[in-house]
Every structure is written in structure tokens, then in C-alpha cells.
Amino acid sequence: MKIKAEQLASTLKNKNLALYWISGDETLLTQEAADQVRHHYRNLGFLDREVFNVDRSFDWQDFSHATSNLSLFAEQKLIELRLTSSKLDEAGKQALQDYLTTPGSDLLLLIISPKLESGTANTKWFKTIEAAGAYLPIWPINRDGLSTWLAQRLLREGISAEPAALQLLVDKVEGNLLAAMQEIEKLKLMANPAQHATINLDVNTVMQVVADSSRYTVYHLIDAALLGEAARSQKILAALKAEGIFPLPILGAITRELRQLLPMIEKRQQGQGINAIMQTAHVWFNRKQVVRSAIGRIKSREIWLMLEHAREIDQSIKGMLRTNPWDELSLLLLSISGTSTVTARQAS
């Protein structure tokens, strides 16, 4: 069965499952979910734990031996598979299916993997595994949810943050939850409160203590532009440039997004409802707000002009045009965000 992170505790308490599969690219949240499973089963007597790091050279016979060579008096054991890729070869798929035929009450299998692609999660073999255990996809926390998440984590540590201080902390650690937890620990140490006292966090304290730990990706960049957040998209673009990211992959990701949006925008212009359009296009739920904003605001004619602009930027990157590709990427993002339009650019 597929569960959410907030359902993990009740599932552990009420279900007796043979397998837990945790997938996601957010390291902190994935680690915390895995720790929750480990802690629960350790309390149930699963004191023995065997860990396998699964890469391309992994021999699945080692896993099969570990799950089959248990004596009559063997202790309860947790077996952990740490996958470097969410895609398994045929030997791996068969080994997991063999395990599930006779899992035994003294074994618990915990699988930790990168985010599963929708195609993998919908395959017959994975559905078989999901039916016998719990599948927990871990989603990154978007910008809107980060403030709430940080506020909850601060309160858990006895820290109450002023709204302005919380917003500054969000800006400082955006996209890096591990850094956020490190900064919370630093804030606790600096404040050095009396036992059970609540720390009141203001802007000055955040500015003194917290480093700028933002970790941006091209996906943050695209989402900011699609949400109409022009200033933020420019900030992220500058950060990616400062990190030495080559502009071509950024352009490629933007172009792919525009092409995926085009048929959805055309359907909206034909009168179809946005919810129905996103359902047909299989838009992930954690991206629905972004896509909704874009297809409700951008017109198909503008997408075609943006794609033409992207073609010119590609030529600029490859030295075929004398324009500055970073400047042109900035203009393209402004167009996507709605601050500037490609039409106005071409008319100038």
C-alpha cells in the first residue's frame, strides 16, 4: 500500500508488513522516515540488522542467502537495502519477489531508494511488492510549505520565531533541510536558554547566526518563474551561474517544461478545466500549484515565442550568436514569470 509520511507511525503500529520501501531525493526526510522504521522494529526485538548497498555490481545472491539462511533459533532481523538507483535489474526484481513468497515473521525488509519514476511505480512487479508492504514516497518541501515546516521544527526545539525572522530563515536555507537543522542547533546553542524556557527568535539573531545555505537547482528556477516570482527566479539564476553551472542544461530544462506546458495551455484555451487537464497529463500533486499558475496565466502564442527565444539562446551558447546567454536566460525567465513578454522583446 502507498502511504504518506504522516501515516507512517500509525502504519507501523497497526500493520504487520513484510517490507517498507522509502523513496525520495530529500536526504533529511528520507533518513528520518527510515530511522522511524528502525526504531519501531528495534523496540519489537529486531536487534540484528544487516545492510546491503546495492549498485550495478551487487550480487543479489548475497541478499537471497541473508533472507533464507535463518536457523530455527535465529534472532529477528532487519535487512536494509540501500539502492543507488530506483531502477532494479531483473535479478533484483526476482530476488524481491522470491523474498515476498515466504517473508517469515522474523524478518523485516527496509528499502531506501532515490525517487521512483512514475513508470516504475506503475509496473506490475512493483505493484506486487507494494501490495505486500508499504511504499512511502518522500516529496521535497516546496517554498510554501518550508515556512510551516521550519516553524514546527523550531517549536519542537523550544524556539518561537517572529514572522520576519522565520521568513529570513526560509530565505537563508531554502532547498537545504540538512542545513536548516544545523542552523536550528546553532540557534539553540547561542541562545542557551534555561531548562524548559522558550527561545524568542528575532531577525537580528538570524542574521548573526545563520549562514546563507541555499541550495538551488534548475527545478527551483523553473518553478519560481512559472509561479510568477520574477525576483526569486533571477536570484536563483544568479546563484546557479555563481556555482559554475553551464547554461545549456538550464536552457534544456526550461525548454522541456515549456513544451510540456504547451498542450495543456492549448486545452485550457479550448475550454477544458484546469483540474481535468492536469489529471490527463499526470501532473504530480506536488507540482499542481506550479502548473496551475502557469497554464492559467500563459497563452500558447507566448509559449511559441518563448521557444523561439530559447532557440536563439541555444545558438548564443554555442557561439553562433553574439548575445550573452546568461542575459538572454534572464530575459526568458522574466517572460515566463509574466514580468516581461517575448512579444515586447521582439517589438523592441
Q: Does residue 43 sit in the same domain as residue 76? A: yes
Q: Does residue 15 sit in the same domain as residue 69? A: yes
Q: Does residue 75 sit in the same domain as residue 183? A: no
Q: Does residue 115 sit in the same domain as residue 199? A: no
Q: Does residue 102 sit in the same domain as residue 170? A: no
Domain count for the chain: 3
Q: Does residue 41 sit in the same domain as residue 59? A: yes
Q: Does residue 73 sit in the same domain as residue 181? A: no
Chosen domain end from 192, 209, 226: 209
Range of the domain at 175: 143-209
Which CATH number is 127's domain given?
Answer: 3.40.50.300
Q: Does residue 71 sit in the same domain as residue 100? A: yes
The answer to whether 326 and 241 are in contact (CB under 8 A) is: yes
The answer to whether 213 and 179 are in contact (CB under 8 A) is: yes
Q: Does residue 244 sit in the same domain as residue 151? A: no
Q: Does residue 152 sit in the same domain as residue 126? A: no
Q: Does residue 114 sit in the same domain as residue 179? A: no
Provide the pLDDT for residue 344: 41
Chosen domain end from 81, 112, 137: 137
What pTM was computed for the model? Answer: 0.59
Provide the pLDDT for residue 257: 93
Which CATH number is 163's domain given?
Answer: 1.10.8.60
Provide the pLDDT for residue 211: 61
Q: What angle do CA 14, 17, 19 make, to 5 degrees?
A: 135
Provide the pLDDT for residue 192: 53
Chosen domain end from 174, 209, 244: 209
pLDDT in tens, the chain (348 residues): 888 888 999 999 888 888 999 998 888 899 999 999 999 999 988 888 889 999 888 999 888 888 876 554 557 889 999 998 888 888 988 888 888 887 667 888 999 998 887 777 788 888 888 888 899 999 878 777 888 888 888 888 888 888 888 888 887 777 678 878 887 887 776 655 555 566 777 887 777 767 655 667 888 899 999 999 999 899 889 988 988 889 999 999 999 999 999 999 999 999 999 989 988 888 876 788 899 999 999 999 999 999 999 999 999 999 899 999 999 999 999 999 998 544 445 434
Q: Does residue 72 sit in the same domain as residue 130? A: yes
Provide the pLDDT for residue 38: 93
